[in-house]
Chain A
Amino acid sequence: MTSWARRRQDEERLRSEIEEHLAFQTAENVRAGLSADEARRQAVLKFGAVEAMKEGYRDERRLPFLETLMQDTRYALRRLRNAPAFTITTVLTLALGIGATTSIFTLVYAILLKSLAVANPNELYRLGKEARCCYYSAYCQEKEFSLVSYDLYKHFRDNTKGFSELAAFEAPSPDFGVRRSGSSEPAQSYPGEFVSGNYFTMFGIGAYAGRMFTANDDRAGAPPVVVMSYRLWQQRYRSDPSVVGSIFYIDQKPFTIVGIAPPAFFGDRLRNYPPDFFFPLNTEPFVEADADLNKPDTAWLHLIGRIRPRTNAAAVEAEMRVELKQWLRSHWGDMSATDRVKFPEQTLFLAPGGAGISDMREQYEHWLHILMMVSGFVLLIVCANLANLMLVRGMEHRRQTSLSMALGAQAPRLVRQALTESILLSVLGGMAGLAIAFAGTRVILLFAFPKAGGVAGIPIDASPSVPVLVFAFGVSLITGLVFGIAPAWMATRVDPIEALRGVNRSTMPTGSLPRQALVVFQAALSLVLLSASGLLTATLYNLENQNFGFDQDRRTVAMVSPRLAGYRPDQLTSLYRRIQDSFSSIPGVSAVALCTYSPLSGNAWGSGVWIDGHPPPGPNADNFALRDRVTAGYFEAIGNPVVRGRGISEQDTAASRHVAVINEAFARKYFKDEDPIGKHFGRDGVGSEREYEVVGIAKDARYLTFDLEKPIPPSFFLPEPQQDLDPKTGLPEIDSSHFLSDVIILNKPGATVAEVRIRQAVASVDPNLPVIWVHSLKEQVAGQFRQQRLIAHLTSFFGLLSLILSCLGIYGVTAYNAGRRTSEIGVRMALGANRGQVVALIVQGAFALIIFGLLIGLPLTLATGRFLGHQLYGMNPYDPAVTLAAVLALALCALAACLIPALRASWISPSEALRAE
């Protein structure tokens, strides 16, 4: 606006200055004796061409760029309107490319780049470079200390001067049974988190309603308070203001809701199910029977601190290292021999904490990089295709361009016009791409992070944020430049004299080299994408169809939570008995058993083992095994064959001798040359070796959802009724593995059991016992490969897209070349060439390009295999079958794409061909 106003002002000034000049000159001429009219005429003549002068004047004003830009834009819009088919195809192709890239970038931004919605996130530092879950030894951690006990947290908090606030919060993500006081509904389960009293102060966030709790609320004996998430308050309680200050029963314990967290705050890390309740750390013993707070040997807290202004993080890190050693020294008596041996190597690191605890970042980083690369490749192919299209368009406009040049248009201006057109197209494509990105991101989020009823989903918003908009705009602009530069350059390679000759008759092969190079480039990129999608699809197939060691058919898993319903450990065995009885009475059910964690449920528990009669493991020895606690008949219910001895049965009661069933991997690792049956081992250090007697060996079965490429680790299974004895005191230990949560239901062949019957069966045992979910074992297994499936499907989609685009490119070039050679074909046919020879002539040319593309693409596919590397389960990254399939797919599609124009060229009659221009 200001420039427009200034322009008006300048024009006005110029006009009056010209007027004034002419008046002077006229007066002078009159004095010289001319008549008034003649004097004026002479003055104007002498002044010269006013319009040319104005042009010069405007040039001097240094605003011509904007003006010519607007002129060019208007011109480009007119040209695009005159070619609607071209415009629509281009914009759609671009929208696909930009949309794909942008939707992946939305995820990259949310997961890899975005900071938490807190005050000055760049001042935050967290303990630990790696994100760990959930419980570690408090005295000894491999590589670095990243989780701490409450005691160590207090030591750091009270002694580290570099932090203005240092907050702690738990690493596990537990669920809680929640019921509003006075409500008749059964308890519902929501995720929650224990955090230190200064958690909100440290993040610098205030309450949306009510107040946030402070260090004052985080004391032993303080009235129990809790902060609720905005999401739950809004969705479940319809923003009811009376929620603040009311009493909620959480795991049957009364809490006062003191405040609502701000809407954008989703806790200290991005996760699938963000917490809906924040509790002060000191209420943990109030809620949990088996509290971690005052266990000095359990590290379960993450730390994030706000560093003081002008403080160096490295100095704070050094300070904390000293404090760690001091603290460990003061607990020397509690440490095991192993811990003491490893004492010298204990250290810690501080890492930027503005994004919180980035476990999701670590989990998804590689996948997102793969997807970003794949979508970037698609965008490159789109660019190549459009460059090709624009070149053809440039050819068609050659006559016009040469005419413009002959009439005096300047080459830079013509280049600018061509560039304006392609940038305009790409911006239009970018806008359409944003719509596609929005839809695409929603679909991806839906598949990658499915929502569970009533619980918050992952806090990633599909709608574009400012960085995403900037990204999309930047990508559009760059795209426009990339595919527009070649045609724009071509525009200047035109000799004006050609305007006089019929350009269309010219046989000059202008532009055919860049176009062929583009086709080669496309073919190479497509080959890479096709082989990547082949590798990932084969990986998915291998993952889903591996031998898991248990039966998936006819099995349903229901998750219940006796802990949320407030059961005490001594009530559990009879509860499980009643659940088993109640389920067995459902028609169609053939067997029922419970376990702490079912296979591939995403949870697992493990511990070290000490074998009777073997020397105790050294400090660096790996004596780890997975542990599960199960009811009688578990192996039959899950379909995991017991290869020797017996499984867990009704004869294993609280009073009988303590037994264990081990898997084959356990037998191989710990009983190499011995018969394991009848041998003893324990899990609680030296002195516990006679705890369990091995009574059976089960076939290896997959429980862990990670390390899928590694052999199944050693595992052992314990009967639920038997409580481990503390080797020091000889008394039964409190052990939360007795809280079994997964009920396995085996149907009779052909029978189906409705979910509602399962829920009824649980309710008939105890209406307050929450059923968290019910699904088939098949769904549970498939759910573990959701990520891989999504990646494989997306990559395949992108691969297919690239194949189609490349074929279009090949088709375009072949058709164009065939068209140009029409008269040549006519001559050849007139001289006796048959159709086959004509087809061969055209196809040969096109196929040379494809083969060239394949030759360039092959080494690239090898690099891709390397890049995908360890993401490929059970696959050779250089798998020749996959590469061959990709080559064949590309070659066949390319053949089809160039055969069509070749056949069409061969059908023309020689006389017609010779007449053609």
Chain B
Amino acid sequence: MLRVGNPIGDMKEKTDVLQGTLALMVLKTLDVLGSLHGYGIARRIEQISGDLLTVNQGTLYPVLLKLEQEGSIASEWGASENNRKARFYRLTRDGRKQLRAETRGWEQTAAIIGRFFAVKAEDLE
């Protein structure tokens, strides 16, 4: 039997969610650590989020480009700690503003969802 459905469509949905959260992680990482190259960002996200990027470190780069085009981050060539040529990313003023806004949004969402999960059936009686 052939699979009926639209595999491309399904995949797209998943990456959209992933990219949304990834962007926020990138912004937060740069906020905490200042200027950092792509590999460094990937490592940091890996360390904190566990396996989210383990399989697909590559997906980071489209997100970096998108953020740069939106003006949230800027980049320039520089030398890394072991003297390799690398592209360094840093947060811009807009990026900082966006991060603050998104952080607030996340906290609100998380709080609401948290309250929902905390509610037990008897509380509603």
Residues of A that sit less than 8 Å from B by CB: 13-14, 16-18, 20-21, 23-25, 27, 46-50, 52-53, 56-57, 59-62, 405-406, 408, 410, 496-497, 500
Contacts and interface: CB of A to CB of B under 8 A. Distances in A.
Contacts of B7: 408
A56 B38 contact: no
B62 A56 contact: yes
A18 B84 contact: no
Contacts of B58: 18, 47-50, 52-53
B25 to A, nearest CB: 17
A23 B9 CA distance: 34
A20 B66 contact: no
B69 interface: yes
A10 to B, nearest CB: 8
A20 B86 contact: yes
A56 B2 contact: no
B48 interface: no
A149 to B, nearest CB: 71
B62 A53 contact: yes
Given A53-B62, A57-B65, A21 B2 contact: no
A50 B58 CA distance: 7
B90 interface: no
Given A24-B39, A57-B65, A60-B65, A46 B87 contact: no
A47 B15 CA distance: 16
Task: Give the interface centre of B8, B9, B58 by most chain A CB atoms within 10 Å.
Answer: B58
27 contacts: A16-B85, A17-B38, A18-B58, A20-B38, A20-B85, A20-B86, A21-B57, A24-B37, A24-B86, A25-B39, A46-B55, A48-B57, A48-B58, A50-B58, A52-B58, A53-B56, A53-B59, A53-B62, A56-B15, A56-B59, A57-B61, A60-B63, A60-B69, A61-B69, A405-B6, A408-B7, A410-B9
Interface string B66-90: 1001000000000010101111000
Contacts of A50: 58
B42 interface: yes
Interface in B1-60: 2, 4, 6-9, 15, 37-39, 42, 54-59
A382 B122 CA distance: 71
Contacts of B69: 60-62
A527 B124 CA distance: 72
A631 to B, nearest CB: 90
B103 to A, nearest CB: 23
Given A17-B87, A20-B37, A20-B84, A410 B59 contact: no
A375 B15 CA distance: 52
A48 B62 contact: no
Nearest to B40: A24
B84 A23 contact: yes
Task: Give the interface centre of A14, A21, A61, A410 by most chain B CB atoms within 10 Å.
Answer: A21
B66 to A, nearest CB: 5
Nearest to A409: B8
A59 B62 contact: yes
Given A46-B55, A53-B58, A62-B69, A21 B8 contact: no
Nearest to A43: B57
A24 B43 CA distance: 10
Contact of A497 (B4, B62, B80): B4
B6 A21 contact: no
Contacts of B2: 406, 500
A14 B39 CA distance: 13
Contacts of A25: 39, 57
